[in-house]
Amino acid sequence: RRMLAGTLQEAEFFGKEAALNDLFRKVLPAEKGVARSAVLSGPRGIGKTELLQQLFGHLFWKQDRVVPFYYTVNPALLSAAAFSKSYLTQYLCQRLAFEKKEQSLLYLDGISIDGLSSLAEEHEALWVREILDAFDQSAGDPHDALLVALNAPRQSVLTTGRPVAVLIDEFHRLKDLAANGAPDPRLVSLFEAPMSFKKTPHLVAGNSPEVQEMPVSAGLERILVQPLGAEDASSKVLSLLRAQGSEGNMPPLLLRHLGGNPFYLSCVVTAACAKQSPEDKDFWNAYIREIMQGMLSLSWLAVLKSFFPDLGLRRIALAIAHKIYHTAEPLSCQRIAKSFSLTEGQAREAAHALYLAGFIRGEFGVFRAVEDRVLRDIID
């Protein structure tokens, strides 16, 4: 669980304090049974993960009314059996850690069910043993085991009276939850009951277009994570430079160009500091290197590859994105199909995948560019 250990120090957490406080206030009503689940929405790199991590830290250390549970969906653990065990053991470890603020319990990766049973005995937590017994009895049926795991926070609330804030990152990966070796989109619907329980509000984040298309999140409140403002972006740059043992100022025009995206800022500052002479930084050249062959370019290329594994389709998709970015009005699937000699079905499939990947926006059957100058430069 290194993500929790790697959470930014509060002094380096710029521009998101108001959003963090809003989330903090959002989950505290769980104590009275009136909290609602929600989806954190926003483009890649905008800071959704960081917000969830900071919220976990606030809830863990700064209050004792609502138990926090933070979980990142691992693409290697998407069989129902593997996911259920991981989800359940991490929840129970974090739940026991919260009781006496035992930070060491947050990092018990891969603890066995027997190990958890012993831990429950040490903490005299009979309710943990009851949940583990139920999980053991359901082990032969992946569906039943998943039900036990997902309902463990609710069950602990009913037994102990302590409400739980469930924070799940990379939630979109759960669309590939599998039973008997094949992805089963119905499995993620088992989150509906835990999400609707007012004493276990769920805050989920991930790739926003994919999360929003998952039926389980359709009825949830949407919380838009905003980019950094100019002042906070400048403070972020200064902090990143200090962390590299350097100093300086990013040109205001480039600062605006990066759009307040913390990931973009970090990539450009790191590239600028990588030169031999730390006092002679050229931020614009660093940016050009980044969009040509640096981490910025590679990160978007990885996204494109994941949605278009076939090289030929990837080239067509990139050409479609380029045309959308350089056409004054939104494009329909009919126009895309005609421009690239595709069937309308092929054009619709490619445009929808580009939308899910975050390369374009889709509204009312037409597609347009997202407001991201950096992505436009990378596409060009």
**pLDDT at res. 44:** 95
Selection from 54, 63, 60 nearest residue 16 by Cα: 54
Outline where the chain has alpha helix (H).
2-5, 17-27, 48-61, 80-100, 113-122, 126-137, 142-150, 152-160, 192-196, 208-213, 230-243, 252-257, 262-273, 283-293, 295-307, 311-325, 333-339, 344-357, 373-379
* Three-state DSSP state, 33: coil
Tokens, residue 40? 């954190």
Q: pTM value? A: 0.93
User: Residue 178 pairs with which residues in a beta bridge?
Assistant: 79, 183
Dist. CA 240–CA 258, nearest whole Å: 15
Residue 190's alpha-carbon distances to 73, 204, 213, 217, 369, in angstroms, are: 16, 15, 16, 12, 35
347: which 2 tokens? 């054009």
Residue ranges, the chain, pLDDT below 70: 1-14, 276-280
Q: Check residue 79 and report its DSSP letter.
A: B
The answer to whether residues 134 and 127 touch, using CB atoms and an 8 Å cutoff, is no
- pLDDT at position 277 is 56
Contact by Cβ (8 Å): 63, 30: no
Supply 168's token pair: 């799940």
Q: Are 194 and 96 in contact (CB under 8 A)?
A: no
Cα–Cα distances in angstroms (integers) from residue 209 to residues 15, 166, 260, 346, 366, in the given order: 24, 21, 20, 20, 16
Q: How many CB atoms lie within 10 A of CB 321?
A: 24
Q: Write out the two tokens for 155.
A: 């069950």
Could you tell me which of 231, 251, 233, 249 has the C-alpha nearest to residue 241?
Answer: 249
Give the pLDDT confidence score for residue 9 in this predicted structure: 55
For residues 126 and 117, what is the distance between their CA atoms, to the nearest angstrom?
A: 9
Query: Which pLDDT belongs to residue 364?
Result: 83
- The whole-angstrom separation of Cα 31 and Cα 198 is 9
Half-sphere exposure at residue 13, Cβ-oriented, CA atoms within 13 angstroms:
22
| Pairing mode, strands 366-369 and 360-363 | antiparallel
Instruction: Burial-class residue 69 by CB neighbours within 10 Å (0-12, 13-18, 19+).
Output: buried
